[in-house]
Structure 1
Amino acid sequence: MAITDRGTPLDRLARERRFRAVFNPPADVGGRFSALSAFGLVPAALIGVDVPSLLERAREAADRGRLAPAENPAVGLGLAIGAAAAAGMDKLTLHTTDDLAAFPAWMEQLVAESLGKNGVGIVPVAGEAILPAGLYGSDRVFLVWESTGGPPVGLPGGMRGARIEVEDRLGLGAEIIRAELAVAAAGEVLGVNPFDQPDVEEAKRLAAAAMACQAATAGTDPAPAQSAGAMAGVRRMVGELGPGDYLGIHAYLPPGPEIEEAIGRLRRRITEMSGVATTFGYGPRFLHSTGQVHKGGPPGGVFLQLLDDPGQEVTVPEAGFGFSRLIAAQAEGDYLALRGAGRRVLRVTLGSDRPGGLQAIAASLT
């Protein structure tokens, strides 16, 4: 089964090899707005989601989205977060109850790729632990989704933002529509086009050049995490963070709970030391989604790129290269694109000892 735009290499391959099914979503729907197209609905159906009910909630939200601005919950939300960002509160911090925990990752891409451009925008902060009130900077605003009847998200008092009640998980159909309309309204406030992504192509171009051994690679080799140079670099990077900055951790590592727990502790320590927001994600996501705000958004982004030694190479079928080479090229392309955008970036490799490398980075901040 394949879900892809018509005419792509995957579309041609699927038809040539007679895949069981090929789904071509509408060509005029951008990726981050496509959750309620075949890209999202086919996987939802396969895992047993009640798709008709999900879409009925979405239709109801779309109808409310046609109301006048004063009566329109989506436009009201977008105007609020856009005005907050214009006033310097541009770190939109996302929290949910446990049963909705996957939603912020989608919201993060929607906000980052739609609104981070022309040197302005909103930086979405997902997956961050709830911290004591005194650790948050004045650039924060919170957006919280809570299930009806469940325990509330325990934010500290005095935090600016909004809480949205979701009847059940099928209510996410309505929340997707609300979020998409809100982002469009926020783009109007900020003076940016929420439907383009001008800064993501450069990282893809540089990654392709690295694959072809054409990239300018001088000075891009990562420092070993347990080396004195890497530990000093991390200390210096965190020590130089100031008001309005944020630190993004870009992990070109295999996803897993051990990695995420260690990164979670590291994020908390960075905020305790500096008061700035932190973001985290696995590469190569930054080449085509959240990377838009990293390169084109507010200039206060500072980035820690984490790599490793993946060990035995695994060949990409019929491609003539392996996954480790591909990932290394993607990481290098993103590094060069960030540097080209004037961002501060530090590259560190964990080598083959990922837990030990993360411990060394954490130890540098004690």
Structure 2
Amino acid sequence: MSSEQVNAANLTVTLRATVGDAVSAALRTLRGEGVAAKLAAKDASLWGPQAQSEAAIRLGWVDLARSSRELLPEIERIVARKRAAGLDHVVLAGMGGSSLAPEVIVASRGGELTTLDTTDPHQVRRAMADRLDRTVLVVSSKSGTTVETDSHRRAYEQAFREAGIDPADRVVVVTDPGSPLADLAAEHGYPTVLADPNVGGRYSALTAFGLVPSALAGVDVAALLDEAAALSETLAGDSDNPALELGAALGGFSGHDKIVLAGETPVGMGDWIEQLVAESTGKEGTGLLPVVVESAEAAGFAPGPDAHLVAFDENATPDVPLADTLVAGPLGAQFLAWEYATAVAGRLLGINPFDQPNVQESKDNTKALLEKSLAAGDSDDPLAGGAPLLVDGAVEVHCADAALFADAKDLTEVLQRLVRAVPEAGYLAVMAYLDRYGDASAAALRPMLASLTPCPVTFGWGPRFLHSTGQYHKGGPANGVFLQLTGEVTEDLDVPGRAYSFGRLQLAQALGDFGALGDRGRPAVRLHLRERSAGLARLHEALERVEP
């Protein structure tokens, strides 16, 4: 299989012959329209008049390799003070772009970071019980109003006070200028690093959102900026521009609406790319669905008419024979290249890559459900979840479309019908509102389901995925089938200063999103685990009986 390789600034993009013709056509278009030079110059008109006002305030990421250096002295001072105080356990409270990039940076560079991007009370309790006496909490929220992050902050503040610790000695804030969180931080005396307001959350890897928690965890973030700076010098050119090639590879295919992501390094990179690409492109009934797999072989299918396998690696050109496109290079350069390529793909797809019109819907549904629940009695509480279609052992089955599962006798039959409901060009999404660590076996459902269908299968932890593929689920092509998992809470945790608990918030988020899918007529099943361990075991058993 022949290939074409573009190498610049230690970042390599290799295109297999299978994608060569389509990429070449897309590149001719991009070069003829001067896209590279315009993007490097932050030309907000690249995505059309309807997107121009949004793009005008979302292109600060283009030169972050230079502008973020201004933050380094302030970050170094904060790090020095926290280390001098013996605070070596870094907890990051953030969602989506505020958490995924630092998680990749720290995991790839040998540091330690506890990420809280969940509302599961078991997971939150576990984090709070871990080395509280040595913990520094980074509260990251661009808007300053993110409900999950605000809840984490409240819980930790209370825990610090109960332990006789002044939260002002432990909390570090990262937010945009003028946000409610910036005002609160000033009031409470929390050290604050303000991020560039002209960078959207999912493009914020090289802003304060990526740099502050990573530096606290011991990462040399200046080196990360150096890696990005070496690539940035190539971004205005039509030739020797690997990021432009990657953008053409992502967005230049007619019918390729699924990007299968395989790679072991940088650690967690697939999840970061997933959020960037899904939330940027999944709208107006189109988009690119990222499918993060355990390995290229675990994809469950070879690249085909609607799926494009992209491999990535931090250190050298990855050897993935099945891959259509291979991306290799240092982490800082990869962050910038993927952001650039996603913006280019947005232009090729004819959409605005900087908005997220359907993310707010699930947030509104969550808020409405919580308010109704507070006002309701036990008999009509919307968080009661309604009567199940059936109960199989420790698993309750709830369906958005009861007709699809009418007369199903057990869990195996429900799963069999769900798998067969995936259309030929569609996908199956698993959404687990559970404890990412305590209920880790839920992640094994992705490869099990992938072995039962030729269609892609995605997996996301809730509510984290709501800030990622959740946009694609509701705004992208209407060809998804959905399996949602919720679980009984054995030890809930109140959110201080709020009339709800983490468990109630988690369930409201799950039911709110389930309702949004149902309103669109998407085939969806919610499996509620009456006892989590037994429920997951029963689910695995039932899946083993499903026929391909």
- Answer yes or no: is 1:116 the counterpart of 2:295: no
Gaps of 5+ in 1: none
Give the letter aligned to residue 163 of structure 1. L
Q: Given the superposition, is the C-alpha separation of residues 38 and 224 from structure 1 closer, same or farther in structure 2, using an over 3 Å criterion?
A: farther
Provide TM-score, normalisation by structure 1.
0.88
For residue 263 of structure 1, what is the aligned residue in structure 2? 443
Q: CA RMSD in A?
A: 2.4
- Cα distance in 2 for partners of 1:189, 1:105 equals 23
User: Which amino acid letter does the alignment assign opposite residue 443 of structure 2?
Assistant: I
Q: Which residue of 2 aligns with 1:30?
A: 200
State the one-letter code of the partner of 2:250: I
2:189 paired with 1:18? yes
Question: Which among 233, 246, 253 is matched to residue 434 of structure 2?
Answer: 253
Name the residue aligned to 1:63.
233
Moved more, 232-241 or 308-317: 232-241
User: What SS does the aligned partner of 1:71 have?
Assistant: coil
Question: Which amino acid in the other structure matches residue 279 of structure 2?
Answer: E
- Contact 2:230-2:333 within 8 A present in 1 as well: yes
In structure 1, the residue matched to 2:18 is none
In the superposition, relative to structure 1, how do residues 309 and 224 fare at CA in structure 2: closer, same or farther (>3 Å)? farther
CA displacement at 1:42 relative to structure 2:
0.5
1:90 Cα offset (Å): 1.8
Amino acid in structure 2 at the alignment position of 1:66:
A
Task: Answer yes or no: is 1:299 the counterpart of 2:478.
Answer: yes
Displacement, 1:220?
5.6
From 167, 170, 178, the equivalent of 1:7 is 178
| Residue number in structure 1 paired with 2:251 | 82
Name the residue aligned to 1:312. Answer: 491
| Pairwise CA distance, 1:356 | 2.2
Aligned counterpart, 1:92: 259
Q: Aligned equivalents of 2:523 and 2:489: distance in 1?
A: 26
- Quote the residue 1:237 is aligned against: 418
Q: Distance in 2 between matches of 1:194 and 1:363?
A: 41
Compute the displacement of 1:76 (Å): 1.3
3-state secondary structure, aligned to 2:450: helix
For 1:213-238, what per-residue CA distance to the aligned partner results, in whole angstroms no more than 9, with x for missing partners?
17977976666563555443222101
Contact conserved, 1:220 with 1:347, CA < 8 A, in 2?
Answer: no
- 322-331 vs 4-13, greater mean Cα deviation: 4-13
1:339 corresponding residue in structure 2: 518
Q: Which residue of 1 aligns with 2:109?
A: none
Please name the residue that 1:107 is paired with: 273
Larger radius of gyration: 2
- Kindly indicate whether the alpha-carbon contact (under 8 Å) linking 1:224 and 1:350 is maintained by their aligned counterparts in 2: no
Does the CA contact (< 8 Å) of 2:252 and 2:348 recur in 1? yes
Superposed, 1:182-197 pairs within 5 Å as 182-197=341-356
Q: Bigger CA drift: 118-127 or 333-342? A: 333-342
Question: 1:9 Cα deviation (Å)?
Answer: 3.2
1:331–1:165 distance in 2 versus 1, CA, 3 Å: same
The 3-state SS of whatever aligns with 1:267 is: helix
C-alpha distance in structure 2 between counterparts of 1:182 and 1:334, whole Å: 29
5+ residue gaps, structure 2, are 1-171, 374-380, 396-408
The equivalent of 1:364 in structure 2 is 542
The within-5 A match list for 1:124-273 is 124-131=290-297, 135-136=301-302, 138=304, 139-148=306-315, 152=318, 155=320, 157=321, 159-166=322-329, 171-213=330-372, 224=391, 226=393, 228-256=409-437, 259-264=439-444, 266-273=445-452
CA distance 1:225–1:18, shift in 2 (3 Å): farther
Find the aligned partners of 2:298 and 2:202 in 1 and give their Cα distance: 32
Q: Which residue of 2 aligns with 1:72?
A: 241
Q: Deviations over 1:116-169 (max 9, x none)?
A: 11111100011444437873462221111224369x45x4x4x34211222xxx
- Contact map agreement 2:485 2:527 (CA 8 A) in 1: yes
Distance 1:94 1:135, change over 3 A: closer
User: What displacement does 1:274 show?
Assistant: 1.2
What amino acid maps onto 1:289 in structure 2?
S
Identical pairs, percent: 39
1:173–1:149 CA distance, 2 compared to 1 (3 A): closer
Paired letter, 2:284: N
| Matches of 2:292 and 2:231, distance apart in 1 | 24
Instruction: Find the counterpart in structure 2 of residue 51 from structure 1.
Output: 221
